[in-house]
Amino acid sequence: MADIDVFPRSAPGSREPLWREVLGELLRRLRHERGRTLGEVAERAGISPQYLSEIERGRKEPSSEMIAAVAGALGITLLDLTAAAAEALLLSRGGVPQRTAVRGAFALAA
């Protein structure tokens, strides 16, 4: 599986992505990889498609329960999802990952 570059490495002085933006992008990429529609994932998670869309676009700051429900609907653990988001944030700052969490999280969910 190819590495996922959620956010390109930022230039010095540029805005760091917010947690909700990174999380939303990861959820959207995972949903697309699974070939699932917004409606399918939202229904499985017990939320509206509109709310899931807002989460994926980084517009809403979902609760931990909501994140767990969406992760479960996508077949990924909360641990793997949060590890992937943390790694994406590290990479966005030009950091070197401790492990390949982004790749591993999506591989585990496959």
pTM of the entire predicted model: 0.73
Instruction: Specify the number of domains making up the chain.
Output: 1
Residue 15's pLDDT band (cuts 50, 70, 90)? confident
By residue range, what is the domain housing residue 77? 19-109
Q: What is the pLDDT of residues 23-82, one digit of tens each?
A: 999 999 999 999 999 999 999 999 999 999 999 999 999 999 999 999 999 999 999 999
Does pLDDT of 12 surpass 80? no
Quick check: is 96 in a domain?
Answer: yes
Quick check: is 11 in a domain?
Answer: no
Residue 110's pLDDT band (cuts 50, 70, 90)? low
Predicted confidence at residue 16, as pLDDT, reads 81
Residue 12: both structure tokens together: 């010095």
C-alpha count within 13 angstroms, C-beta hemisphere, residue 53: 6
Cα 31 from Cα 90, distance rounded (Å) = 22
Quick check: is 43 in a domain?
Answer: yes
Residue with tokens 């002085």: 13
Quick check: is 97 in a domain?
Answer: yes
Q: DSSP letters of 1-51?
A: -----SSPPPPTTSPPPPHHHHHHHHHHHHHHHHT--HHHHHHHHTS-HHH
CATH code of the domain containing 79: 1.10.260.40
